[in-house]
A and B are shown apart, each in its own frame.
Chain A
């Protein structure tokens, strides 16, 4: 009786909602494909936009030094040199430091302090890069110029010309140090996550045969998480390569050239694009800048894909997927 009524109502409900699942699927699929479309659009635009420059210069563009917008002679080598040097300096400082912080937070830190300290380290990543640049210009550069640079120039500078010279403060070295601060939280938090998933039986086995805690870490934990740590450094490097504002404000130099010393101003690819694109002289100039963007995008993409393969799920988690 009541069941027959319910059968009729159920049929009515089914009739009205049977298309719902298809519509839902189509709607979500559409917006998911928008994401794919965005990536395709980015790729297409920078590929097409750099067409003119690619035809004009070819592969030797990466190895040439001149940069003369008026005569149309462009070479990307100063930008590539500056980007690589500042990012590698950043990695030199932030890499070991980040791994040590990851070890501390996972293995050695008292449990109460772990969350607040992790939060503080990640707060470094939340600070906008223009504020790093501003702090660099007004606070760090005067300090560097008066205190650190004479030390470097006086000691290493006498031996290696790369560290020599008086400096106005704006330099590849300063950019490298500020990039190191910006990249440190990325390396630290991914290292921490990767080290945390090392199975405890590895640690216990080491301790059981009488290792000290540091020996346990260096001989059991770190080799096990080596791939993830390398992935963390690759992601950090990728972030440093693409960093625009902080580098733009502290690296100096209006004319792209390869400096004789790392204490002299230089230029990075991202900073070059940001400063010249809106005022580009002609379509070749603009196309060249887009070509530099293409190279930058390609390298960052390779680094990220490689790092993903090394790190996979260890860097993910609720809220944690934002980190990388």
Chain B
């Protein structure tokens, strides 16, 4: 029988080993995921208390026991992140959505090809390059590090994500809907605004949320444009602090007490990003091919 032929045995063994290796590879990939998330959770949770969320930076101080403690919290980072990324979303939203609408509704002309290519180029641009451009164009011209410069840099990174998602989602809207609206006499602009966009709205929102999560985690452009600050600030035209910048700063700090704050900040940042990603996944669970 075939199972007794030695070469078949050898092939079968190879088959089993290689298939096992692919399963092992997948497990290997999951190890760092759980290690990183686990460490962030366990080391960060100790830093989370009410003061952490409601106070701004306080310099490390010597306590009675002779230990250096870092009191204070990360309110300035939380406020800064939401303001900077919020402003970036406001800037990127109209550009991204309307560019996506253009690509979906007028897809076959040469301008569309160029725009698609440029969207790909923008999404491939390293974040440091975008930061450099924002630094040269805005920070040097205005002689001022500002939250707005950071917002513009982040918006440049968000635009390709929003554009591509909008285009893909709009292309998924069935043509029958458009044709029915046309049959009722609606001009193109009206049917796009009142028929196509509302039905694609959930997909577009998930694209914006993904872009938001990505921008919230970006540090390199902010290093070059926002500089950082120790106070809670609502002024986008001045330097501000943001959560990823704070994580970086506390990691580089020589005080172990501040390093613990870095874990706490990382925990907040990771939870923000993870929750948004989970929401997006849950919302698109029925739309995956």
Contact = CB atoms under 8 A, between A and B. Distances in A.
B174 to A, nearest CB: 14
Contacts of B32: 124, 181
Interface string B181-219: 000010111101000000000010011001001001111
B104 to A, nearest CB: 9
Nearest to A246: B219
Contact of B126 (A45, A103, A124, A300): A300
A139 B43 CA distance: 11
B274 interface: yes
A154 to B, nearest CB: 24
A245 B248 contact: yes
A45 B137 contact: yes
Interface string B25-38: 11011101101110
A21 interface: yes
Contacts, number: 284
A148 interface: no
B61 interface: no
Contact of A34 (B99, B133, B227): B99
Interface of A: prevailing SS: helix
Contact of A45 (B29, B136, B210): B136
Main secondary structure of the interface of B (DSSP, over half): helix
A277 B135 contact: yes
A28 B102 CA distance: 5
Contacts of A133: 248, 251
Contact of A100 (B21, B213, B259): B21
A226 B9 CA distance: 28
A244 interface: yes
Interface of B: 11-12, 14-15, 18-19, 21-23, 25-26, 28-30, 32-33, 35-37, 39-40, 43, 94-95, 98-99, 101-103, 105-106, 111-112, 114-115, 118-133, 135-137, 156, 159-161, 163-165, 168-169, 172, 185, 187-190, 192, 203, 206-207, 210, 213, 216-220, 223-224, 227, 244, 247-248, 251-252, 259, 262-263, 266, 269-270, 273-274, 277, 280-281, 284, 287-289
15 contacts: A23-B189, A29-B106, A32-B115, A35-B160, A100-B21, A100-B22, A104-B25, A117-B30, A123-B274, A127-B273, A134-B251, A135-B39, A215-B15, A304-B120, A322-B165
Interface of A: 10, 13, 17-18, 20-21, 23-25, 27-36, 38-39, 41-42, 45-46, 49, 97, 100-101, 103-105, 108-109, 115, 117, 119-121, 123-124, 126-135, 137-139, 181, 184-185, 188, 212-215, 217-218, 238, 241-245, 249, 270, 273-274, 277-278, 289-290, 293, 296-297, 300-301, 303-305, 308, 316-319, 321-322, 324
